[in-house]
Structure 1
Amino acid sequence: MEPPVIVEPGSPVRQFAVMLPNRAGALAALVKLLRTSAIEVLGLSVQDSRDATIARLILSDPDTAEHIFIEKGIPHTTCDVIVVALRESGPGLLQCLDHLMGAETNIDFAYSLMPGPEGRSMLAMHVEDYEFAVTVLQTSGFKLMYQEDLSR
């Protein structure tokens, strides 16, 4: 018997990786630019290097943000990430990681988001196989968040 097919109830969460100059105020200027179009930063991870900074962002309106980045010539890439709403940050995180490890799927990177609807802690993860990881987490009872859940 074949395993049940899991139907996603929404669009995958799109993460932006934006290259910024490594100087004071660059990230603040980017956030201000997004706020002029009522786009909120819901998740943020910053990786610094000597010459440039890579800011990973999850935004409330990724379509408009992409238009702004293209229009302003801001270098960026996008990828889909899984966002898990955790009931408890400690035990919930470990259970989530254990299920992914048991399924032998790798996490490329992860970071937390601002508290979401219902005040839950949320974790964004980029995994080697998005569809497989979604199936593993859904069948294990985890609440996954989709772009429609995060866009306010």
Structure 2
Amino acid sequence: MIEPETLEPGEPVTQFSVLLQNRAGALAALAKLLRNNAIEVVGISVQDSRDATIARLVVTDPDLAQQIFVEKGIPFTTSSLVVVAMKEAGPGLLQVLDTLMVAETNIDFAYSLMPSPKGQAQLAMHVEDYDFAISVMNQAGFKLVFQGDLSR
């Protein structure tokens, strides 16, 4: 019996959770700051509250973004995301969710990324156990996306 080929995982996709003042233009100013430094935002999720906003960002150059945030005094945290490229958003989504359910692992939150240069839908997920989820998704044959794949 031939064992299925397992791919050596790349560097995890980094998500930044950035604390912004809840005011008009704050998110646009952050995007412009990144763009002016040749960093593209490829994924975004915004959680609003009355006083502050949490912007979750996936960018093409997380090392430089982190350096800029530190230099500018912008509060942030980072976390690793499992990102899956899907050929079909509808059926693909259900397959991803079913695979993780059968493996009994939880998704803390999820959101889609901008389409890849190949036009594939990409689902970013923060899971309770990154290494386990990567292993499960890899064994199930899903196309995983790593940080190097997002750098354009």
Q: Deviations over 1:70-120 (max 9, x none)?
A: 000000000000110011000000000000000000000000000013100
Q: SS in structure 1 opposite 2:118?
A: helix
In the aligned structure 1, how far is the partner of 2:26 from the partner of 2:46? 12
Counterpart of 2:55 in structure 1 is 55
Counterpart of 1:106 in structure 2 is 106
TM-score by length of 1: 0.95
CA drift of 1:53 comes to 0.2
CA drift of 1:7 comes to 4.9
Counterpart of 1:71 in structure 2 is 71
Counterpart of 2:32 in structure 1 is 32
Supply the RMSD in Å over aligned alpha carbons.
1.4
Q: 1:147 corresponds to which letter in structure 2?
A: Q
Q: Deviations over 1:105-137 (max 9, x none)?
A: 000000000001310000000000000000110
Runs of 4+ in 1 over 2 A off after TM superposition: 3-9
In the aligned structure 1, how far is the partner of 2:144 from the partner of 2:105? 17
Counterpart of 2:87 in structure 1 is 87
Q: 1:104 corresponds to which letter in structure 2?
A: E
CA drift of 1:6 comes to 4.6
Long gaps (5+) in structure 2: none
Q: SS in structure 2 opposite 1:53?
A: strand
Q: 1:29 corresponds to which letter in structure 2?
A: A
Counterpart of 1:127 in structure 2 is 127
Q: SS in structure 2 opposite 1:57?
A: strand
Q: Deviations over 1:7-52 (max 9, x none)?
A: 5341000000000000000000000000111000000000000000
Q: SS in structure 1 opposite 2:134?
A: helix
Long gaps (5+) in structure 1: none
In the aligned structure 2, how far is the partner of 1:88 from the partner of 1:5? 24
Counterpart of 1:141 in structure 2 is 141
Alignment identity in percent?
A: 69
